Chains A and B, each alone.
Chain A
Amino acid sequence: MENIQTSRRDFLKTTALTSFGLALGITAFSRDATVKKITPAILKLEINPFIIIDTAGNITIVNPRPDMGQGSTQAVPSLLAEELEVRLDQVKIIQSDGKGKYGNQTSGGSSSVRSLWEPIRKAGAAAREMLTETAAKRWNVPVSECIAKDGTIVHKPTGKSLTYGELADDASKLEIPKNPKLKDPKDFQILGKFNKRLDVPERVTGQAIYGIDIDIPGMVYASILHSPMVHGKVVSINDAETKKVKGVVKVLKTERTMPHRTSEAVAVIGTNYWAALKGRKALQVKWDNADYEKTLSTEKYFAETYEAAKKEGIRYEEKGDFSSKYNTAAKKLESHYETPFLAHAPIEPENAVVHVKEDGSIEIWAPVQGPDWALRDVCAYMKVEPEKVKINVTLLGGAFGRKAYHDFLLEACHLSKELKKPVKVVWTREDDISQGPYRPGMLSHMQGIVEEGKITGFHHHAIGESIMGQVFKGLKPDEADSWIGEELSVHNNKYNFSTASKISWTHVKTDIPIVWWRSVYASNFGWGQECFIDELAHLAATDPMKARMELIKDDRFQKVLETLSEKAAWGEKLAEGQGKGIAVFKSFDSISASCITVTKKDTGVKIDKVVTVIDCGYYVNPDNVKAQTEGNIVMGLTAAIKDGITFTNGVCDQSNFHQYNIMRLNEMPAIEIHIVDSGSTPGGVGEPGLPPIAPALGNAIFAATGKRMRKLPFDISNLG
């Protein structure tokens, strides 16, 4: 019980509650549910998220997953409300602050529901049992005669009732049941049902507070001129024009700290943001770019990946002796599939407010995906203990992986320390697009074998920069990137190649900053895998749907493909010039398959329709599963047919949405989403819909036009 006591004191310190009842840590119920894809050095776990019921009956959950639009502010309280027997509107939410006692707090890897599904429900069920037992004791009646409903315990035979608030103090004296009884899913009232998200009204009235909306008394604004070549040193600063700008109060050299290196930068400080921005535009800075203009370009990077494809990679997984089977195969195919670097481009640019106070303590208000990682990075950078740092997580105006990378936050820390004032750093769109970090560009070198009309051999050679290597410095020269390996493994996607199969990897390094981007490597390698399966099916003169059904021996995959086949009317006669393509990919423990229909139009195609089927196991809100999948369709299509990020002579070629286009409303095809209710353990929802989109489109284009697209992105109106 010691931890619970500690947690109460902490909570009292950080909130204005005056009365206090029951606080539950969920350590006892948590399983080892870390996110395998993006787990950094693990912070010490003291106690997990809290559920607090005060004597006034207020129910509060400390939400350990920031909301960037994926719906954690509904999903997490829903898990609690279901088992605690309260309505969603009875649960107040506060965001966790990054401290170790709250455990893993990063929204990433589509992990929120799948890692909290059991522990939060168990905590809710335990609290319900404790409250019920307390009421039964007070009335001196059997527990079996008492039920919990909407925040009260009711004695069924007499109808008398007590609120949770009236019971909370006594309930807190009980031992927490180790194995509370969870509801049978068939009795769920909230989980799996449509419920409106309660924070939508504030998002349609301008009342929602994002990081960029934070104002602190005494705050100054900073706009930062970054090195044009991503990494550079300041040789000289001419700020004569900048200092003429009214509202500019200071110009100073600063730095941008990334996991793999630190680059110098120049900050312009203003009494308002416009002044800082205008002053920054008037700066004249000479840079030492360490010859990046000669050595860094995406053309050079991709040339190296194609060179690497000629050589044997590091083997991650192999069944049979692929190379010898391939060398002697009568019917075989080899292809290369390329995906570009991509910016996340959340509409809310990167920003943070930081106040480094006189006593050395630091307070932060920022749209970060993980206050735990942010705390780790701030403590390491500022050389302070976690107790000295308070992080207030705001809503995030989109993130997609970008806001779990804290260069912008550390910039604000550095400036606040220098200026001894609260500082608000706001990146421009140009900073966001031209500075990175980006999804890495990747190459898939594919080899396949066809025997007797069947696909029997498959080799995926993944080539490029490694997030694990660059962001975590964790990759040895002879080590295959295991995040990629797991993703492409036959154990993940269940393709069963009867003769031989192989996953291999070659690390091609670049100094272009990279990080995860929605669905991480699945967004790169789904393209190669699923287009190449399609190529091989055509080589085998078999239907691409049938080919997949034959190769995948897994009931859930089969059900997803059958559902897609039915809903997308696969195999039915197409109109003149039409073509359909499919792709399936499992990522973050969910299976998603898409069928895209296109029609030939002049030198290109028009996208008519996207049908996506997803099996994400148990889910919280079917409407949110659909919303996230709609988002994945749009982001997946954007990644396929809009702009990639390129570097020429050391400089990013794109700067704003006129060069880095994203899909617009008038370009939307018809979309249709179907959920397969498999009743399996919850999988991810925020990302798995994305990987099949580009390959389904590529395969549809082949079906309609006979053109095989192998390099993303492409111009859909002119396929060449």
Chain B
Amino acid sequence: MAIYNLTVNNKKVKVDVEEDMPLLWVVRDFVGLKGTKFGCGMALCGACTVHLDGEPARSCQTPVSSVGKNTKITTIEGIGDAKLHAIQQAWIEEQVPQCGYCQSGQIMSAVALLKTNASPSDQDIDSAMSGNLCRCGTYDRIRKAIHRAANTIKVEEKGIGKM
């Protein structure tokens, strides 16, 4: 066991865990944030996606010891601030979730996509989102919601004069 000082959603947390424990289980069972989901344990389904310094990462394959103490870990609980993120709002508008279990991971991948690409094409969405499985089959709505969120962000930016 070892002590790890982590920064999760801008909060400092200290955990005492085995060094090979995947970040997924640290976040869920030691930090107590249950929004990040276990799906496959092999980085095949994307349900466990979090951001490490803004980059999407599969937390089920990320040993806690590999996360630097200054690394910013962001989970689904940390992307919205006071109001919902444009992606979350678009997910509601398009009524994307069915069971919703994979959607934390889907949303984390989508948020990361929009950070680096404000106007993703269908092909951009394909490559950013194909690592996230949805057994309910919400893919068509995920695509629509990403386009919607991209448009919303553009409109908002124009509205407050940030060009």
Q: Show the binding face of A for B, using Cβ within 8 Å.
A: 67-71, 196-197, 200-210, 212-213, 215, 246-247, 272-275, 277-278, 345-349, 395-400, 426, 428-429, 623, 627-628, 630-635, 656-658, 662-668, 671
Interface centre among B1, B101, B139 (most CB of A within 10 A): B101
The reply to whether B103 and A70 contact each other, CB–CB distance below 8 Å, is no
Which residues of chain B are within 8 angstroms of A627 by Cβ–Cβ distance?
95, 98, 138, 141
A residues less than 8 Å from B133 (CB atoms):
347, 657, 662, 664
User: Which chain A residues lie closer than 8 Å to B21 at the CB level?
Assistant: 272, 274
CA distance A667 to B133 in the complex (A): 11
Residues A665 and B100 in contact, CB atoms below 8 Å apart: no
The smallest beta-carbon distance between A200 and chain B, in angstroms, is: 5
A selection of 30 A-B contacts at a CB cut-off of 8 Å is A69-B98, A69-B99, A201-B92, A204-B100, A205-B88, A206-B33, A206-B34, A206-B75, A209-B34, A213-B28, A272-B21, A272-B25, A273-B25, A273-B29, A346-B101, A347-B133, A397-B102, A398-B135, A398-B136, A399-B99, A426-B38, A429-B39, A429-B44, A627-B98, A628-B98, A634-B137, A656-B42, A657-B40, A658-B44, A665-B143
State whether A68 touches B99 (Cβ < 8 A): yes
Q: Bound complex: CA of A432 vs CA of B151, how far in Å?
A: 40
Contact digits for B27-68, partner A, Cβ 8 Å, 1 yes 0 no: 011101111111111101101000000000000000000000
A residues near B45, Cβ cutoff 8 Å:
347, 429, 657
Closest 3 A-B residue pairs measured CB to CB?
Answer: A206-B35, A634-B137, A397-B101
B125 touches A632 (CB 8 A): no
B11 to chain A, nearest CB (A): 15
Q: Given A207-B35, A274-B21, A429-B42: A665 and B132 within 8 A (CB)?
A: yes
Complex Cα–Cα for A400 and B95 (A): 20
Known pairs A69-B101, A206-B104, A656-B41; list 8 more (Cβ under 8 Å): A69-B99, A200-B95, A204-B88, A206-B75, A272-B25, A273-B25, A666-B129, A668-B140
- Roughly how many angstroms separate A246 CA and B16 CA in the complex, as a whole number? 12
Q: Is B84 close to A, CB under 8 A?
A: yes
What residue of chain B has the Cβ atom nearest to residue A659's Cβ? B44
B10 on the A face (CB < 8 A): no
**Residue in chain A with minimal CB distance to B42:** A656
Complex contacts, B37 vs chain A, CB 8 Å: 210, 212, 347-348, 397
- Whether A349 contacts B35 by the Cβ 8 Å rule is no
Give B96-117 as 1s and 0s: 1 = Cβ < 8 Å from A's Cβ atoms: 1111111110010000000000
Residue of B nearest to A664 (CB): B130
Count how many chain B residues have C-beta atoms less than 8 Å from C-beta atoms of the other chain. Answer: 61
B100 pairs with A203, CB closer than 8 A = yes
A213 to B47, CA, bound (A): 14
Bound together, the chains give a CA A207 to CA B134 distance in angstroms of: 18
Is A429 within 8 A of B40, CB to CB?
A: yes
The yes or no answer to B77 lying at the interface (CB within 8 A) is: yes
State A634–B134 Cα separation when bound (angstroms).
Answer: 9
Contact between chains at A666 and B126 (CB < 8 Å) = yes
Q: Report how far A206 CA is from B95 CA in the complex, Å.
A: 16
**Across the two chains, which residue of chain B brings its CB closest to A631?**
B137
| Complexed CA–CA distance, A212 and B24 (Å) | 13
Which chain A residues border B125 with CB–CB below 8 Å? 665
Picked from A70, A197, A275, the residue with its CB within 8 Å of the CB of B18 is: A275
| A28 to B116 CA separation, bound complex (whole angstroms) | 60
Q: A274, B18: Cβ atoms under 8 Å? A: yes
- Which of A67, A204, A631, A657 is within 8 Å of B103, CB to CB? A204
Nearest opposing residue in chain B for A274, CB measure: B25
A398 proximity list for chain B (CB < 8 A): 99, 101, 135-136
- Nearest CB in chain A: distance from B58 CB, A: 12
Shortest Cβ gap from B131 to chain A (Å): 8
Question: Distance (Å) between the CB of B128 and the closest chain A CB?
Answer: 9
Given the interface contacts A212-B38, A429-B41, A665-B130, does A630 sit within 8 Å of B138 by beta carbon? yes
* B99 pairs with A205, CB closer than 8 A: no
Is B70 interfacial (CB-CB < 8 Å)?
no
CB contacts (< 8 Å) of A246 on chain B: these are: 1, 18
Q: How far is the CB of B112 from chain A (nearest CB, A)?
A: 15
A69 to B97, CA, bound (A): 8
Report if A272-B30 is in contact (Cβ < 8 Å); known contacts: A200-B91, A397-B37, A623-B95: yes
Q: Indicate if the CB atoms of B29 and A395 lie closer than 8 Å.
A: no
Contacts of B22 in A (CB 8 A): 274
By a CB distance below 8 angstroms, the chain A residues around B35 are 205-207
A347 touches B129 (CB 8 A): no
Interface 1/0 per residue, B137-163 and A, CB below 8 Å: 111111100000000000000000000
Contacts of B131 in A (CB 8 A): 664
A349, B20: Cα distance in complex, Å: 22
Bound complex: CA A657 to CA B29 (Å): 24
Q: In the complex, which residues of chain B have a beta carbon less than 8 angstroms from the beta carbon of A633?
A: 137
Q: Kindly state whether residue B8 has any CB partner on chain A within 8 Å.
A: no
Q: Which residues of B contact A208 (CB under 8 A)?
A: 100
Nearest CB in chain A to that of B129: its residue? A665
Contacts of A209 in B (CB 8 A): 34
B130 touches A658 (CB 8 A): no
Residues of A within 8 A of B132 (CB): 664-665
Residues of A within 8 A of B136 (CB): 69, 398, 631, 634
- A667 to B139 Cα, complex, angstroms: 9
Cβ of A213: which chain B residues have Cβ within 8 Å of it? Answer: 28, 34
- Note all chain B residues with C-beta closer than 8 A to A272: 17, 21, 25, 29-30
Residue B6 at the A interface, CB < 8 A? no
Instruction: Contacts A665-B129, A666-B130 given; indicate if A204 touches B99 (C-beta within 8 A).
Output: no
Q: How far is the CA of A181 from the CA of B139 in the complex (A)?
A: 42
B102, closest chain A residue (CB): A347
- Least CB distance from A157 to B in Å reads 41
Q: Please judge, given known A-B contacts A200-B91, A272-B25, whether A206 and B36 are in contact too, CB under 8 Å.
A: yes
**Distance, CA A202 to CA B80, complexed state (A):** 12
Q: Which residue of B lies closest to A345 (CB)?
A: B135
In angstroms, Cα B36 to Cα A556, docked, is: 45
Residues of B near A429 (CB, < 8 A) are 39-42, 44-45
In the complex the two chains form, is A203's CB within 8 Å of B25's CB? no
Of the residues A278, A400, A631, A667, contact of B138 by C-beta under 8 Å:
A631
Give which listed residue, A205, A247, A630, contacts B80 with CB less than 8 A. A205
Neighbour of B101 across the interface among A347, A662, A666, CB < 8 A: A347
Taken together as a complex, chains A and B put the C-alpha atoms of A395 and B132 apart, in Å, by 21
A671 to B142, CA, bound (A): 13
A-side contacts of B1, CB under 8 Å: 246
Please tell me if B76 contacts chain A, counting CB pairs below 8 Å: yes
> Given A196-B92, A204-B92, does the pair A395, B40 have CB atoms closer than 8 Å?
no
Q: Which residue of B lies closest to A214 (CB)?
A: B34
A289 CA / B67 CA spacing, docked (Å): 43
